[in-house]
Chains A and B, each alone.
Chain A
Amino acid sequence: MEDHEGKKILVIQTHGVDTPTRTYSPLYYAVAAAAMEMEVMVWFTMNGTNQLKKGEAEKVSLVPESGVTLKSMLEMAMDNDVQLRVCQQSLTLWDMTPDDLIEGVEILGATSIIDLALEYDHVMYF
């Protein structure tokens, strides 16, 4: 199989704590790509934003009986150098301020996502 080391993958996550089963795979893929030595960013927008509010992700159990929560998946992503970014405009949808965000997440504006989508080798949209 071809080695894609060094490629850049952008994962756009629009699902949040209200739909737990749609939150696990995007983060899993992101970590897998990082483990394959790709540069990976997850961009949270729309409903995806709400999982980044302090205290929310730990409430979401993802893999029964294994202790895996949405919080542990977000931590695994950060431990593997996956960059987590949130859409500035979508914070207001959830009445969130920058202080509400968990550690390690950066805020970017809408023009940035356009630049990134054009710059990255591949975009995965969820």
Chain B
Amino acid sequence: MAHEKINECIIFTNLYYAVEDNTWVRVNDDGTVTIGMTDVAQSLAGPILHARAKSPGTQRKKGRPIATVESGKWVGPVKSPVTGEIVEVNETLAKDAQMLNRSPYNEGWVIKMKPANLDEDLAGMVTGDAAVEAYRAKIEKDGVTCTHIEGSEEY
């Protein structure tokens, strides 16, 4: 898949991003969306110790937490970039939270959601070249350099 690398941070151009909250959205063929943390987010958090997602069936409005993530130096919510119902949770993260570090865009996805207003929510996000430029600006402004723990996916 096409991607860009900015200060070692990977940005896939086929995903939608809520840049301020450092989350991504993949639109699936079955009408659901997959949501996860970005490479920038996992780098800022550092090696993640625990991740706890909300249960399937939970209704979420955009901006509310879908999971809580803990590292040695940071704890915080993963905020939903879309409104809808959680239909699936990545069970792997409960046993191996550092999957979020090693594979933030693939095996480390957080939840799948049945969106309620997807077109409207996607319109508020960035994708493609616009996402790359938005992240370039954020990464430079915040002085971020991404780090990847042992076993991380390589691009």
Using a CB–CB cutoff of 8 Å, the interface residues on chain A facing chain B are 1, 3, 28, 31-32, 35-37, 63, 66-68, 76, 80
Contact = CB atoms under 8 A, between A and B. Distances in A.
Given A36-B68, A37-B64, A37-B65, A3 B54 contact: yes
Contact of A76 (B54, B64, B74): B74
Nearest first, the 3 A-B pairs at minimum CB distance are A35-B77, A66-B73, A35-B68
Interface string B63-81: 0110011101111110000
Interface of B: 46, 52, 54-55, 58, 64-65, 68-70, 72-77
11 contacts: A3-B55, A32-B68, A32-B70, A35-B77, A36-B68, A37-B65, A37-B77, A63-B73, A66-B73, A76-B75, A80-B77
Contacts of A36: 65, 68, 77
A35 B75 contact: yes
A28 to B, nearest CB: 6
B14 to A, nearest CB: 29
B73 A35 contact: no
Contacts of B46: 66
Nearest to A72: B73
A117 B70 CA distance: 27
B48 to A, nearest CB: 13
A30 to B, nearest CB: 9
Contacts of A63: 72-73
Contacts, number: 34
Contacts of B73: 63, 66-68
B110 to A, nearest CB: 13
Contacts of A3: 54-55, 58
Most central of A3, A32, A76 by chain B CB within 10 Å: A32
B54 A35 contact: no
A31 B76 contact: yes
A32 B75 contact: yes
Given A32-B70, A35-B68, 7 more contacts: A3-B54, A3-B55, A32-B68, A32-B75, A37-B64, A67-B73, A80-B76
A95 B139 CA distance: 42
